[in-house]
Structure 1
């Protein structure tokens, strides 16, 4: 019958449509990897024969609910929470046909971060070359850079007056001077798409002179100390001038005055830290009221096993003793294995003695105990005898110049006195 034919035809058409469901395609503009804060548009396209209108359903992996029924869905000022996999599907607005679900398309949202590094070294001598390198990883092109120094005030950055010469990502100093000592940071920005990063990580750059006018005295006199201990640092100026204070740059990038610490106090040129914690690890130095920085010392605060090593560089030919100390035993000495630059030097010893130090002994030292753990690494610096002689020679020159100046002044005084006496005698003779 006619009715039976119509029913069969209707079933056949619908069956074919069901087995040939169109598959949507998802596109993301401007890109699948965008910056935080950008605007992103998701679009669902369904290609099929005939002039068919569709209604849409959008899904995000991890959720079964529909978050939009539009062909295009806009995400304004995206954050990392918007990142994920997106799919869509459709159904005919005037019919019963439904599409398949589209393939998932992944949206990635990240905040470009400027990363600062130093080449070749952070610790320099006057005249050494150094380059600060600022990079934005994963987004390598189209950036310009600005350069800053960090002050003690929290999150306060001063733009370098010649910041523009490091616009290519490299800020190079061909001959480092004492004035270049400081804590540096950089920032990157680009026009398309418009984005400005936060300030980068910080890097301490230290330039040392030949003969610093002040020394940093550390008590206890070692580069490693236990947690919950008391630490004292004092600026010793041979000329007895005042105005020196202790400052520090911690491992987590904080630049601080001793007086600003909750557990610290500054009395004159002496800084005292009560009950040390691991975050007290960092570089400490003496700084004058005019901003001169001298005599940096690396201090490591650690719980458990520490290495007792000298604060100041060791001179060639000197006697050196390194001890392994443990916080929770009395006496504190601990028998452990002794390493230099990753190689075992001596095992099961409480201390290691180097009777005559040479340049070959320079390196990183540490102890390792099978149950108590491993001490932090300490760099032992060896100063050549020639350095001592040059320092002595420069001081001797200053002493000789002082003596010569005094002698010349005395000679001039005597000469004037003799001339006056001679003139007086001549006048009396004529009279």
Structure 2
């Protein structure tokens, strides 16, 4: 053998030795979508020959050490894991023209589980009542499989269905909200009554549908709100709202106005099913509704809202004639004027304790007018009036008016010269009134008003009596009159004028008679003595 042939043989042997001693490529098996799947899912196995370059490999697939799938020229196979039978240890190996092979990959455990059952629960128990909130919960069966729990490793999605014959998948809305495994129906209505069922979804498969549950919806007990008297109401009136619930008992009642729950107060009082509003004001106007709350289902019943309209009561005003202050002795007229409606009956009140006035000798009523005659100081005070009617509005109250009463100006009488006076003298009487002016003076002797004459002369506030005689002796007094208010003064105190006979005057007949009557006994005695003496002398001379 020549040297050239020997060299070629040595080269080939070196190549063979190098191939025999070279390390085999490493195969890695990957499983998708997961090493744990449910029956019916599609599983993809990928055999990755690491460090093999771009060589043309063929792939062998093994399950539990046995050939599982025919040899492929692609590094990926897919199959539908319809049964639990597909669970096992999976591995792969790559070959190149049967001359070189990779290592067999480390086995990967594929677990195939049956899909769990889903169960639908409803809270509260059916039947439910309109207005209630209902929760439907889709419960996925939990069990352990080779040490792992199904409910812990999967992120389930849920589908909700309603309907008996035509199933409709429910979508979220204002009333339908979903929180993972729970569907909440708020404000249940009668159209929500039907069959409901659910299922869970994971990747491309879903659980069997749950058994259908029939949701029965009944009307909540009806509550009716009544208002007395009928709206509109008038300020100052008392309004009663009554909440009538047709069925069940032991309700607790709640009252709301314009979505604000009412609390008891001085004006708002509650007696079980009745709310009373006293002294209605304009701010009480609004939408009212009531609700019954109970400890057992049905535990709520809400009425429809009722509109309460509040109008101002007819205005009444009190007028006083003449203007205050008034003076004792005057006549006062109070008039109650009500702006709308008619056929009012009028009531009159006085004082802080609202004493109702009754007709009397001094108090007379004529429909809308109260007359007080001969006012006295005790008539001073606050007055107000109210109209009462047979139809609503049946009341109207005025604001109070203050009546101030003052005494008439005092008058005093003076006499010059001081009493007693004497016949023939001139006497001056002066009437002094303490306030106001432009008085006209009246003069009285006893109860007779004096008139000017030859002996009686008047100069404004002064009366002069000339040439007094005994007939001028009497009681004298004065008072003032004027055109404005006050138009009269008080009567002055009475002064007694005493008149004595003057000594420098002529002897009056009465004086003579008085003298004669006093002297007669003495004269008669003298005549009798003279007569006796005369007879005695006659007897002696004989």
TM range (shorter): 0.3 to 0.5
Question: Whose helix fraction is larger, Structure 1's or Structure 2's?
Answer: 1
Higher relative contact order (CA 8 A, sep 6+): 1
Larger radius of gyration: 2
